[in-house]
Amino acid sequence: MDKNSLFGKVAVITGGAQGIGKKVGEMLAKSGACVWSGDIKGSKDDSPPAAGEVSRIYMDITDEKQVVDFFGRIAVQHGRVDMVINCAGIGIFKPIVDTTLEEWKRVLDINVTGVFLASREAFKLMKRNDGGRIINLSSISGVTPIIHNGSYGTSKYAVHGFTQIINEEGKEFGIRATTVILGATRTEMTDGLGAFDPDEMIPVEDVADAIIEVAAKPLHIRMDEIKIMPPKGILTSKLIG
C-alpha cells in the first residue's frame, strides 16, 4: 500500500469523534490528507483542515441541511472531495417484539439515511471531479441474520445494498464504493454493551488499517466489499440467553 498516495487528499469521515472513525481520521492525517470529521461531538467553530490535519466539525448526519452545508464548505475550500468514509452509526440490540417504533426509526435514520445523505453530497462533488471513493461501514449483521439485531441488522443490510447501487450509478464517473463488513469490533459502543469478550474482538486499529488500504487504492481498482472477522468468526453475544 502506498500511503503517499493519500497526501493532500480531501477526506470526509462521518462519526469521526470516536471509535473506528476517529482512528481512521488520525491515520489519514498522518498520511498527509486533509480530514474533515463530521460528528455531533464536533465543534461549531473549527476551521478547515490543512494537509496532515483533522478538523472535527459539528454535524448531525440525520439533518439534511447540516450535511449539505458541511459538504458545501468543503466545496468552497477545496472544490472537491476525494473520499468519504461513513462511520456514523448506532446499535440497539433487542428482540423484535421489544423494539419500539422510536428505536427502529432512530437506528435507520442514523445508519441508513445518514449514509444516504453523505454519499449523495459526496457523489455530486465526485461526479464533476473525475471520481472518488465512498467507503461505508456495515456489519456481519448486514449479510447474516442474527437474532436481537432487528433494527441494526436491517440498517446494515440496507447499507450493503445501497453501496452496490452507488457502484452501478457511479462507475462511469470514476466513483468507487466499498462496503466494509465487520465482525465484532472493540469500540466504545461494544464496550458499553458488554456483549463479547474484548480479547476475542477485532482491535479498532486493524479495522482502520484495512480501511486506509482501500482508501489508498487507485480508482482503476474497484473493491466492492471487504470482510473483517475475528478469528472465531461470528461471536455469540453474552446478552442472549
Say whether 152 is catalytic.
yes
41's grid cell: 461531538
Q: Please work out, in degrees rounded to the nearest 5, the angle formed at the alpha carbon of residue 8 by the alpha carbons of 48 and 224.
A: 105
Q: Give the DSSP letter of residue 187.
A: S
Instruction: Report the sign of the C-alpha dihedral through residues 180, 182, 186, 188, in that order.
Output: positive
Compute CA distances 106 → 41, 67, 206, whole Å. 18, 17, 29
Helix (H) or strand (E) holding 11: strand 10-14
Choose, from 70, 152, 157, 162, the residue flagged as catalytic: 152
Neighbouring C-alpha atoms within 13 Å toward the C-beta of 119: 28
Which residues are tagged catalytic?
Answer: 152
